[in-house]
Amino acid sequence: MSDLFVTGIGHLTTNEGEAMVDAVVKVEDGSVVYAGPGSDAPDQGPSPRVECEGRAVLPGFVDSHTHLVFAGDRAGEFSMKMAGASYADVAKSGGGILSTVAATRDASEDDLFVSAAIRVRRMIAAGTTTVEIKSGYGLDLETELRLLRVATRIGNELPITVRTTFLGAHFVPPEFRDDRGGYVDLLIDEMLPAAAPLADYCDVFVEEGAFSVDEARRIFVAAKGHGLGARVHAEQLAHCGGAALAAEIGAVSADHLDHITEGDAIALADAGVVAVLVPGASYMMRSPQAPGPMLIQHGVSVALATDCNPGTSYFESTGTVISLAVVQMGLTTEQAIHAATRGGALALGMEGHGAITTGSAGDLVVLDAPSPVHIPYRPGTNLAWKTIKAGRVVAGDQSPG
């Protein structure tokens, strides 16, 4: 953690009230100690300085849903989908999640770390300062633990905060195709106790062909006993009851929600469950976008995430996701920026992140643009001029004056 003085900010998004112009942010010991008008700024002292020259500054992006650790790719599967194949067609042909599982099981821990670290460094360069990383491409005890160890190592060795999620209930592996109950028992009796020390959360893919509401409930009850919070893959391909389950158990988040109903939205709002929306997956799958405006209208806290994965949403840039949310989902720019920063922090239970205010984490992104509107307006451009993590410039010009 470092001290830093960020000056000459043309547009400062704090997520704690109106945006500011001609603003200054001071970071000490990795946390914000001042965010306000330049005319009232404290003395710079010996802190290094980043002079923004009128550029916009916002909280570092908090990417609250990713599957970053995997081996192989599914480019051929992408071509099939673009030719009209459905998700089910791809799975029947040997593609889908299980093809990534096969490649990932064969990969070493070091190889998985190297490939994931490349992706994470690109994310940092695009303004991401916090990321959630799920397992789920092992579906056996050994590989699931390997994925969680890699995710933890990323947080230890790269300048990014990582939250880890155990997603052993991503799909039923081939060896349990005729014994679903046996795999759920394995998850509960062996995999969860071993994974819990390496994970912050447990996730279940509630979907036809994956796991039922009743199976998911059993898994989440067991996860709670091991101290893990709940996250739910819900209502992605069809309405299957995952959102209602998330509300019932008080999950931290319900994710995807492409087929959510207004009744579900009201239940999520009442239960305080954050809706994590992943417009990149809907875009890549040519499916309807989740009803973000409706969720916000009903008082649901909304987050935006990349869902970075090799099959349905190979997005590494939160900026691109923000553009999709504005152009295709119908969020305003302000709503999308809030969802990609403060919303993501809420989805990860990280109160001190996703804002720029006294006491918050000194995680900032400086845009090479005068306002955040340029993010959705220029989706093909990485506008992160500098990424700042805990008061240290970690991407862009590494030598502040």
Judgement on whether residues 163 and 291 belong to the same structural domain of the protein: yes
In a domain, 42, yes or no: yes
d(C-alpha 220, C-alpha 241), whole Å: 15
Which tokens go with 330? Answer: 């119908």
In a domain, 167, yes or no: yes
In Å, what is the CA distance from 179 to each residue of 3, 172, 183?
56, 9, 7
Model pTM?
0.96
Which residue in this structure is represented by tokens 């799975």?
Answer: 91
Mean pLDDT for all residues in the chain = 95
Which residue in this structure is represented by tokens 């299957």?
Answer: 240
Per DSSP, the residues of 78-103 read HHHHHTT--HHHHHHTT-SHHHHHHH
Judgement on whether residues 11 and 149 belong to the same structural domain of the protein: no
> pLDDT tens digits, residue range 272-327?
999 999 999 999 999 999 999 999 999 999 999 999 999 999 999 999 999 999 99
Which tokens go with 11? Answer: 């547009």
d(C-alpha 107, C-alpha 75), whole Å: 18
Better-predicted residue by pLDDT, 125 or 93: 125
Judgement on whether residues 366 and 325 belong to the same structural domain of the protein: no
Banded pLDDT at 1 (limits 50, 70, 90): low
Which tokens go with 389? Answer: 């993590």
- Whichever domain contains 120, its CATH number is 3.20.20.140
Structural domain that includes position 371: 4-59+355-396
In a domain, 372, yes or no: yes
Q: Judge whether 135 and 144 are in contact, CB under 8 Å.
A: yes
Q: What angle do CA 382, 385, 386 make, to 5 degrees?
A: 120
How confident is the model at residue 80, as a pLDDT? 83
Domain count, the chain: 2
Q: Judge whether 311 and 280 are in contact, CB under 8 Å.
A: no
Is the pLDDT at 88 greater than 80? The verdict is: no
Judgement on whether residues 131 and 225 belong to the same structural domain of the protein: yes
- Over range 22-33, report the average pLDDT: 96
d(C-alpha 325, C-alpha 246), whole Å: 23
Task: Report which residue type is found at 263.
Answer: G
In a domain, 205, yes or no: yes
Judgement on whether residues 132 and 212 belong to the same structural domain of the protein: yes
Q: What is the DSSP letter of 241?
A: S
In a domain, 26, yes or no: yes
In a domain, 185, yes or no: yes
In a domain, 401, yes or no: no
Task: Report which residue type is found at 358.
Answer: T
Axis-axis angle for helices 141-157, 109-125 (nearest 10): 40
Judgement on whether residues 91 and 23 belong to the same structural domain of the protein: no
